[in-house]
Amino acid sequence: MTLRLSTTDADFPATFTALVDARREADEDVSRDVTAILKAVRAGGDAVLADYTQRFDRHDLNVSGWSVTAAETRAALDGISTELRDALELAAARIAAYHEKQKPQDSDGVDAAGVRLGARWTPVDAAGLYVPGGRAAYPSSLLMNVIPAKVAGVQRIAMATPTPGGEINPLVLAAAQIAGIEEIWRVGGAQAVAALAYGTDRIRPVDVITGPGNAWVAEAKRQLYGVVGIDMVAGPSEIVVVADGRNDPEWTAADLLSQSEHDPTSQSILFTDDAAFADAVAAAVERQIPALSTSAVARTSWDANGAIIIVRDLDEAMPLVDRLAPEHLELAVEDPEPLFAQVRHAGSVFLGRMTPEAVGDYVAGPNHVLPTGRRARFSSGLSVLDFMKRTSFLSLDRDAIGAIGPAAVALARAEGLPAHAASVALRLS
């Protein structure tokens, strides 16, 4: 049953703390299985990939083909409706425009001591993109992951995706064609992540791996961090809606269900200062769930993880929202700016009554790959910077090392590192 709370309840502090601390990640203990898979792929390469693909995806890579051809992606794009093609192209253009503004600038200057200091930004050489199959075959996620890498200037992008029975969602292939992906491998699961990280005879290794996946994929990325960079270890989807009673309850219910339908472990929470509105939203949710093709998932998620919280006023809600640090936050009020000014921890914020989170999933421009599980306290959504690295540089002449070198010598000696001290002191004499 969906949780119903009020900040005036005597037990609210304890109950809300339990809500904040609840773990919704999959219960399976997959760590040991993933460790074995990574070890097997590193040792056995392509043969192990073929074996896992036969076992889990029910096709022979040597028959169906290891990779998707350019002709297949072109055919997929040509085969979709004009409406869908236009939608994908609009999304791609808006995502690219937004992420272009994230590109960092190099710096180069001379300080008061005469030291030249600066930094240069360069893209990684190769990025790997994991695209799920099954329940979460989303072309929008492909665009959100690939386009920032393209904007960053990454020269090689390798995509891996599971292909049950050898088949791939045509919309995913169409999106790959629009995004300009030329290297697509028909492998999935933790084994695909291992192949991208370690490399095999067929698949060259990459430097960064991004993209969503199931618990095994997420665990593989976690274990391989350090061998490669990763975007994040993502958990179940989340939405928090802060709304007053002047909203349409049908709209608010739909916004909550937009995350509940993702997965049985997704979470949707409403904060409102109007108890009658809360009742109306709860009733609207009950009316809408049966009409969804995703009703079974939405029902499980809403009943197990949903919550409606009554606050004295919406300002009271904001510190509670920060404790949740949600992936998505809607501020559904006439003037959201005063509430927005109080937000410290959220993956992405949607301002006003006419800004549903779902528009951000597709065509708005900001990235929808966002931190979950309260990780917005310390991390950000996917960006161009995830595919770039900064190299600092400095240059000293005789006057500059004379100005700052003696301090370096003193610190090196204090730390008991005489060779450090000598490498500077010799240049001062």
The pair of structure tokens assigned to 178 is 């629009």
Residue 357's φ and ψ, nearest 5 degrees, are -55, -35
Reading the block at residue 297, the tokens are 């998932």
The answer to the question of whether 362 is labelled as a binding residue is no
Instruction: Give the DSSP per-residue string, 138-160.
Output: -HHHHHHHHHHHHHHT-SEEEEE
DSSP H/E element including 233: none
* 262 belongs to an annotated ligand binding site: yes
Half-sphere exposure of 344 (CA within 13 A, CB side): 9
52 is in an annotated binding site: no
Residue 155 annotated as lining a ligand binding site: no
Q: How far is the C-alpha of 297 from the C-alpha of 136, rounded, in Å?
A: 13
Alpha carbon distance 279, 308 (integer Å): 9
Whether residue 182 lies in the annotated active site: no
Contact status, residue 242 vs residue 230, Cβ threshold 8 Å:
no
Catalytic residue among 238, 327, 330, 357: 327
Helix (H, G, I), strand (E, B) or coil at 211: coil
The DSSP call for residue 105 is P
Helix pair 275-288, 249-260: axis angle to 10 deg? 60
Annotated active-site residue 330? The verdict is no
Please name the residue that has the structure tokens 């200091």.
Answer: 117
- Say whether 259 counts as a known binding-site residue: yes
- Looking up tokens 């093609």, which residue turns up? 85
Q: Which of 328, 330, 357, 368 is catalytic?
A: 328
Residue 358's closest CA among 247, 243, 268?
A: 268
Closest CA to 358 of 427, 266, 255: 255
> Is 191 one of the annotated binding-site residues?
yes
On the 0-12 / 13-18 / 19+ scale of CB atoms within 10 A, 328 is buried
134 phi, psi to nearest 5 deg:
65, -135
Distance from C-alpha of 374 to C-alpha of 11, rounded to nearest angstrom: 23
Q: Strands 307-310, 267-272: parallel, antiparallel or unpaired by DSSP?
A: parallel
Q: What's at 16, amino acid-wise?
A: F
Tokens representing 404 are 């700052």
CA distance 320 to 312: 12
Q: Is 423 annotated as a binding residue?
A: no
161 within 8 A of 133, measured Cβ to Cβ: yes
Pick out the residues of the known binding site for substrate: 237, 259, 262, 328, 361, 415, 420
Which residues are identified as catalytic?
327-328
Binding residues for NAD(+): 130, 191, 214
Residues annotated within a binding site for Zn(2+)? 259, 262, 361, 420
Residues tagged in the binding site annotation: 130, 191, 214, 237, 259, 262, 328, 361, 415, 420
